[in-house]
Structure 1
Amino acid sequence: MESDSPPDSTTRLPFRDRHDAGRQLGDHLRRLHPWPDAVVLGLPRGGVPVAAEVARALAAPLDVFMVRKLGLPFQPEVAMGAVATGGVEWLNRDLLARLPLPPGAVEDVRRHELRELARREARYRAGRPPLILTGRTALLVDDGLATGATMHAALRAVRALGAARVAVAVPVAPPDTGEALQPLADEVICLHTPPGFRAVGQYYRAFPQTTDEEVLAALQGRQD
């Protein structure tokens, strides 16, 4: 996995906001090697502003790739899996095996997140078809990784859609998460892999919730 050593906790945070992270990531990718056939796919919501800057740096087409985390019923911020466009699903079976979840709990969360995925996809696309991935490089971009659950599902989904190569590019992730994705991706690029990682937002000076309106604004400037 491509990475640079992160600053320690006493230094300035590496990213001002998601747009700054996307510009830094795009510059790094452009220097890394050419991306002549890449389609940049932003994971909503926070990954789309980052992906927009990456697509601009690479002069590549931009699209949104729909994926939703499946959070634990009693601790929604902890991922037990994810679902993505095309019905692709990934479950953290090691985690689920250790938890005494009641019958039907996973299915209840799955149904809720599939409804939200469909709602967002309809709004974000506004009738536009998804970009064709067959034979191309799918460059999956998010604002950072924690457990990597949503990226696991996204990787499987873009493979199923016929992408010739699949790469992951993020500003920040813990070392073990990036390493766990390597068997699924042709390339994993991360600017910062801090050993003391706790949360994606701790590496941004401004990390507000991304709104649907911000996602739509980013996608309106996409290149097809």
Structure 2
Amino acid sequence: MFKNRSEAGQLLAHELMKYKDEPVVVIAIPRGGLPLGAVVADALGAPLDVALTKKIGHPFNREYAIGAVSLDQVVINRPGDIDPYYIEKETARLRDLLQERHELFHRHKPPVDVKGKTVIIIDDGIATGNTLRVTVALVAAGNPGKIVVAIPVAPPSAVERLRAMPEVAAVTCLETPWDFQAVGQFYEDFRPVSDAEALRIFEGGTVSGAPL
């Protein structure tokens, strides 16, 4: 059980110090990954950027992810089970939202160049791992030197799927509980991170104010 996202970020930072002497870029998945990403970026003296991705929910249960999308990539778990028109429509809708996010987060600073860098992708936890798989594909397109995925908690199966990706050099996961049901189950404080707070953390590069 983690006290909050800030504590989870500190624990991840401790595990990731071995990369401190490498040319590192920290990429957080907003909104929940940003408080952790800011802590890790500060500890490693690395620039912080965001990966703009969205999960594609099942047509009959939007909370159940069947895939994920970025501005350039789409990953679908079981495309044969889902109407292709639904996937096409959701992809277009989500990309409109992602374009708005891109313009918001990068209004004052451009995306960080990851070419040749050690890129550490961070979220506050994963369930299926679909969003992270899209993020890995997005980052890999920028020709980084290596990709490391770092999360506080995930089911063992999701971690194994990430480790099996050829683009991923390493996965750091603090807890892999067998009884995993949801990420929030493993945080004492798992309050939502607002757009305003996520933007403040991203532009300031540090976590301040109320614990997250």
Q: How does the TM-score come out when normalised to structure 2?
A: 0.91
Residue 135 of structure 2 corresponds to residue 154 of structure 1 = yes
Contact 2:20 2:45 (C-alpha < 8 Å) held by counterparts: no
Matches within 5 A, 1:111-190: 111-184=92-165, 185-190=168-173
Mapped to 1, the partners of 2:84 and 2:23 lie a distance apart of 45
Residue 184 of structure 2 corresponds to residue 197 of structure 1 = no
Q: Which amino acid in structure 2 is aligned with residue 194 of structure 1?
A: P
1:121: how far off? 1.4
Mapped to 1, the partners of 2:19 and 2:31 lie a distance apart of 27
SS of the aligned residue for 1:189 comes to: strand
1:83: how far off? 1.2
Aligned partner of 1:72 in structure 2 is 58
Matches within 5 A, 1:1-224: 13=1, 15-30=2-17, 32-85=18-71, 87-93=72-78, 96-97=79-80, 99=81, 101-102=82-83, 104-184=85-165, 185-222=168-205
1:92: how far off? 0.8
Contact 2:33 2:123 (C-alpha < 8 Å) held by counterparts: yes
Q: CA RMSD in A?
A: 1.5
1:28: how far off? 1.8
Mapped to 2, the partners of 1:103 and 1:37 lie a distance apart of 41
1:219: how far off? 1.1
How far does the alpha carbon of each residue in 1:176-207 deviate from its partner, in whole angstroms, 9 at most, with x for none?
A: 10000112210000000111111000000011
Contact 1:49 1:214 (C-alpha < 8 Å) held by counterparts: no
Q: How does the TM-score come out when normalised to structure 1?
A: 0.86
Q: Which runs of no fewer than 5 residues in structure 2 stay unpaired? A: 207-212
Relative to 1, partners in 2 of residues 1:127 and 1:221: Cα closer, same or farther, differing over 3 Å?
closer
1:114: how far off? 0.7
Q: Which amino acid in structure 2 is aligned with residue 61 of structure 1?
A: P
Mapped to 2, the partners of 1:36 and 1:124 lie a distance apart of 26
Relative to 1, partners in 2 of residues 1:156 and 1:102: Cα closer, same or farther, differing over 3 Å?
closer
Relative to 1, partners in 2 of residues 1:220 and 1:82: Cα closer, same or farther, differing over 3 Å?
same
Q: Which runs of no fewer than 5 residues in structure 1 stay unpaired? A: 1-12
Mapped to 2, the partners of 1:18 and 1:34 lie a distance apart of 21
